[in-house]
């Protein structure tokens, strides 16, 4: 076996956690390669293909020779489409200098944290949080401050909790709505209450991650930047991955105050340059076209949501909320902690996820990756038949635990 040279790695990399969503998907792929029939519900990725009109636009871009470097903050055509989208869907006015296109919303979040965090800065993260927020904040040098919300509160942090957590060092707040991993959607009054707290505290910025905007089953989407006094301190993050089934295209964008956008473009100019040229061309067409295909996917996700809630409620000890968006469900499975089937014992959410993967051959992600040790995340971006089979396997495996 090759000797271990990992001590040569930088301290920063040694302390960086691996993405649990990507790790669980890789483990599921490994088991599949070994010949097992594994159902992977661990990665957040629509099971639909990118709609044809978007793929056709990418082909057209290639034929037109749109294959060179792009301006670092994004192709003009795509930034124009983003500006129009933000006006049309969110009632927000932005200019070209306020938009930065990146290789996925993930890079937008990294750019923002690198641009804003100093070592004394606290970053309040609404929890359950999307897996990468915390590692990106730490990598950027900020101090994550976890604000927990349990299932009883529909996993939503209250304005009072935020007020209590703010200190003189608070610099940034990060949350997603619709939320990954819970599917919860903050209502307009809930966001207003949060904005009201922030109006009392100057110099705190907000990353509003709205990447699941088009996968919303309830009230119309509220953009945080549109709330009174919030425009100048909000960085809206969005992208093509979820609403347009374009995860592999790696295209996300932010809309921000100009000074933040230009700092992010400066970082990106040194690390990756502008995102893919023909991809951006096609993404512009996606935003400019009818959203019919996005809403058709949303309707399908909503049907599956109702189905999976019913199936999970049928497993003894599972507690579920009713997610209003995204394509995740985040059941509380703590009932099983400490229980055994005579062979294996489920200790916590991590061991729950591993037991289910190795024995029921269903890939899910432990809630601990999202800051909640009682829950697991199931992505229901899969066919109804696949979901039924996955839940059948989980239920059958757990039936022997007492």
Site for ligand GLU in 166-205 (CB under 6 A): 180
Q: Is residue 19 a contact point for ligand GLU (CB under 6 A)?
A: yes
Interface with ligand GLU by CB under 6 A: which range of 15-23, 80-88, 221-229, 313-321? 15-23
Minimum separation from the CB atom of position 335 to ligand GLU (A): 25
Residue 22, binding choice from ligand GLU, ligand PMP, none, Cβ under 5 to 8 Å by partner class? ligand GLU
Whole-angstrom distance, CA of residue 100 vs CA of residue 108: 8
Residue 131, binding choice from ligand GLU, ligand PMP, none, Cβ under 5 to 8 Å by partner class? ligand GLU
Q: Which of 354, 359, 361, 367 is nearest to 318 (CA)?
A: 367
Minimum separation from the CB atom of position 382 to ligand GLU (A): 13
Minimum separation from the CB atom of position 319 to ligand PMP (A): 23
Interface with ligand GLU by CB under 6 A: which range of 14-22, 49-57, 187-195, 334-342? 14-22
In contact, 145 and 122? CB cutoff 8 Å: yes
At residue 329's C-alpha, the angle toward residues 328 and 333, to 5°, is 140
Q: Is residue 44 a contact point for ligand GLU (CB under 6 A)?
A: yes
At 366, which helix (H) or strand (E)? strand 365-366
End-to-end CA separation in angstroms for the chain:
41
Match 């990294």 to its residue by tokens.
Answer: 110
Site for ligand GLU in 88-107 (CB under 6 A): 106
User: Using CB atoms, what's the residue nearest to ligand GLU?
Assistant: 44
Q: Is residue 243 a contact point for ligand GLU (CB under 6 A)?
A: no
User: Using CB atoms, what's the residue nearest to ligand PMP?
Assistant: 104
The nearer residue to ligand GLU, 130 or 401, going by C-beta atoms, is 130
Residue 184, binding choice from ligand PMP, ligand GLU, none, Cβ under 5 to 8 Å by partner class? none
Q: What are phi and psi of 33, to 5 degrees?
A: -65, -25
Minimum separation from the CB atom of position 329 to ligand GLU (A): 13
The nearer residue to ligand PMP, 79 or 106, going by C-beta atoms, is 106
Residue 372, binding choice from ligand PMP, ligand GLU, none, Cβ under 5 to 8 Å by partner class? none
Match 């101090």 to its residue by tokens.
Answer: 143
Which residues form the interface with ligand PMP (CB under 6 A)? 44, 104-106, 130, 176, 180, 209, 211, 239, 241, 247, 252
Interface with ligand GLU by CB under 6 A: which range of 18-26, 107-115, 253-261, 339-347? 18-26
Residue 191, binding choice from ligand PMP, ligand GLU, none, Cβ under 5 to 8 Å by partner class? none
Residue 19, binding choice from ligand PMP, ligand GLU, none, Cβ under 5 to 8 Å by partner class? ligand GLU
Q: Which of 275, 267, 195 is nearest to 227 (CA)?
A: 195
Residue 79 CA: distances (Å) to CA of 13, 53, 84, 97, 99: 33, 19, 9, 9, 6
> Which residues fall within 8 angstroms of residue 92, CB to CB, at 6 or more apart?
86, 223, 225, 226, 231, 236, 255
Site for ligand GLU in 113-152 (CB under 6 A): 131-132
The nearer residue to ligand PMP, 74 or 239, going by C-beta atoms, is 239
3-state secondary structure at position 108 = helix
Within 10 Å of residue 360's Cβ, how many Cβ atoms?
20
The nearer residue to ligand GLU, 106 or 221, going by C-beta atoms, is 106
Q: What are phi and psi of 99, to 5 degrees?
A: -110, 135
Residue 215 CA: distances (Å) to CA of 3, 241, 357: 47, 11, 27
Interface with ligand GLU by CB under 6 A: which range of 17-25, 270-278, 282-290, 340-348? 17-25
Residue 68 CA: distances (Å) to CA of 16, 277, 287: 33, 6, 22
At 387, which helix (H) or strand (E)? helix 384-398
Residue 371, binding choice from ligand GLU, ligand PMP, none, Cβ under 5 to 8 Å by partner class? none
Whole-angstrom distance, CA of residue 120 vs CA of residue 6: 29
Q: Which of 223, 284, 280 is nearest to 250 (CA)?
A: 280
Residue 211, binding choice from ligand PMP, ligand GLU, none, Cβ under 5 to 8 Å by partner class? ligand PMP
Binding site for ligand GLU (CB under 6 A): 19, 21-22, 43-44, 106, 131-132, 180
């Amino acid at each position: 076996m090759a000797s271990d040279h990992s001590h040569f790695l930088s301290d920063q990399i040694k302390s960086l956690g691996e993405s649990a969503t990507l790790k669980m998907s890789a483990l599921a792929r490994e088991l599949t390669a070994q010949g097992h029939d594994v159902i992977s519900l661990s990665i957040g990725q629509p099971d639909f293909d990118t709609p044809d009109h978007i793929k056709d636009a990418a082909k057209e871009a290639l034929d037109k020779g749109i294959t060179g470097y792009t301006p670092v903050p994004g192709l003009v055509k795509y930034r124009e489409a983003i500006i129009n989208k933000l006006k049309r869907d969110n009632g927000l006015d932005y200019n070209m200098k306020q938009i930065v296109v990146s290789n996925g919303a993930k890079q937008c979040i990294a750019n923002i944290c690198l641009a804003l965090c100093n070592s004394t800065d606290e970053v309040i993260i609404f929890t359950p949080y999307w897996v990468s927020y915390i590692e990106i904040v730490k990598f950027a040098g900020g101090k994550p401050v976890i604000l927990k919300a349990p299932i009883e509160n529909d996993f939503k942090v209250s304005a009072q909790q935020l007020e209590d957590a703010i200190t003189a060092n608070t610099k940034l707040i990060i949350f997603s709505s619709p939320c990954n991993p819970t599917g919860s959607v903050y209502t307009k009054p809930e966001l207003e209450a949060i904005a009201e707290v922030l109006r009392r505290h100057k110099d705190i910025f907000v990353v509003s991650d709205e990447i699941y905007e088009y996968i919303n089953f309830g009230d119309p989407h509220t953009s945080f930047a549109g709330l009174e006094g919030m425009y100048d301190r909000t960085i809206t993050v969005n992208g093509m991955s979820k609403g347009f089934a374009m995860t592999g295209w790696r295209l996300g964008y932010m809309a921000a105050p100009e000074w933040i956008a230009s700092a992010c473009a400066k970082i990106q100019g040194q690390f990756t340059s502008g995102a893919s040229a023909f991809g951006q061309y096609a993404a512009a067409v996606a935003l400019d076209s009818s959203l019919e295909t996005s809403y058709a996917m949303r309707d399908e996700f909503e049907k599956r949501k109702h189905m999976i809630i019913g199936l999970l409620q049928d497993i003894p000890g599972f507690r579920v909320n009713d997610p209003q968006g995204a394509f995740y469900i985040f059941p509380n499975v703590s009932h099983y902690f400490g229980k055994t089937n005579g062979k294996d014992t489920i200790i916590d959410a991590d061991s729950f996820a591993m037991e289910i993967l190795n024995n029921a051959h269903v890939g899910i992600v432990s809630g601990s990756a999202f800051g909640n040790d009682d829950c697991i995340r199931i992505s229901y971006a899969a066919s109804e038949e696949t979901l039924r089979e996955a839940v059948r396997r989980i239920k059958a495996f757990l039936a022997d635990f007492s």
